[in-house]
Amino acid sequence: MAAEDRADPLFVRSVEKAMGILSAFHHAGGPLTLSDLATGAGIDRSAAQRMVHTLRALGYICRDADGHGYLPGLRVLDHTLDYLRLDPLVRQATPVLQELRTAVRERVDLSLFDGPRVVYAVRLQTTRQTLNASLVGHSVPSFCSSGGWAMLSRLPPEQARDIVERSDRRPFTSDTITSVDDVMENIAKTRSDGYALTTNQILSGEIAAAFPIMNAKGEPLAAIHIAGSLADWTPEDYARRVVPPGQAAARTISQY
C-alpha cells in the first residue's frame, strides 16, 4: 500500500469510483458510453465496467432506449425523496414558502449554501417557468445569484472574497457581474440592506430578490428567492413589493 493510501484507511476507493461514474453525468448532454463514463470518472475502463455493472444491478444506471448508451436510473430519485423529506430546513420552509408565493404571486424557491454554488432544494412554481427553474438539484454560482449574494453577505468579508475568487466567474448574460471587486461591492450592499437584489445576472430580463437564512450560530444555511420579470417591474417597485414579506418569511424560517 502506498503511503498516501494508508493515510485514510477507512476510505473505500471502490465507492468513490462508483460515485465518480454517476457524477460523469453531471456534464453530459445525453446518454454516455462505457468509455465516456470511464473518462468522466477518471478511472480505468475495466473498473468502469465493474462499477456500471453493479450500479445497473442496483437500479442507479440504466441503458438508454435504443441500447446505445447509459443514463441515470430511477433509484436516484428515491434518495432525492429522502433528502427532501428528512432535511429539517426543507420541511419547515415549505409551508412558509407556499404562503409567500400566494402573497407575492411570483416564483419562490429555496436554495442551500454550498460554497461557490447554491443548490435549489424547493422550487415553487407559477404557471410558467423554464425547465431549469423547476428542477430540484439545479444549482447556480454564488458569485452572481441573488441567493449567493444573500448568503455570502452573512460570511466574514475575507471568507466571502475567497469563495468569489475561486469561483468560475463566467458570465451567464452580457450583464453578469464578474469582477471580484464589483461582486464584493454588491455583497457589501446586500449586507447593509439585509437582502439581495439582482437584475439580468443568470437570465436576461430576470429580477430576483433573496433573503438569507442562518443557523443558530449565525452561519448562512440557505436563502429564499423571489424571481420576477423586468418587463413587469422596475427594481424599486419590485423591492417595495417583495422585501417586506420576503424578510418576514426568512425570519419565520430562521426561528426554528
C-alpha cell at 83: 433528502
**Which residue, 65 or 131, has its beta carbon nearer to DNA?**
65
Min separation Cβ 186 and a second copy, Å: 25
Choosing from 36, 39, 139, 248, the residue that interacts with a second copy (CB under 8 A) is: 139
Amino acid at 2: A
Choosing from 5, 42, 44, 135, the residue that interacts with a second copy (CB under 8 A) is: 135
Stretch that binds a second copy, among 19-27, 150-158, 172-180, 240-248 (CB under 8 A): 19-27
| 86 binding a second copy? (CB under 8 A) | yes
| 50 binding DNA? (CB under 7 A) | yes
Cα dist. 245→36, 125, 134 in Å?
48, 18, 22
Contact indicator for 144, 178 with CB cutoff of 8 Å: yes
Min separation Cβ 61 and DNA, Å: 11
Amino acid at 71: L
Q: Which does 139 bind (CB under 5 to 8 A by kind): DNA, a second copy, none?
A: a second copy
**Residues 52 to 71 in contact with DNA, rule: CB under 7 A:** 52-53, 69-70
| 82 binding a second copy? (CB under 8 A) | yes
In whole angstroms, give the CA distance from residue 42 to residue 20: 8
Cα dist. 156→26, 117, 151, 225 in Å?
31, 17, 11, 22
Coil, strand or helix at 24: helix
Which parts of this chain interact with DNA (CB under 7 A)?
A: 1-2, 5, 9-15, 17, 33-36, 43-47, 49-53, 69-70
Name the site residues for a second copy (rule: CB under 8 A). 10-12, 14-16, 18-19, 22-23, 25-26, 28, 30-31, 49-51, 53-55, 57-58, 60, 64-65, 71-88, 91, 94-95, 98, 101-102, 112, 114, 119, 121, 124-125, 127-128, 131, 134-139, 215-216
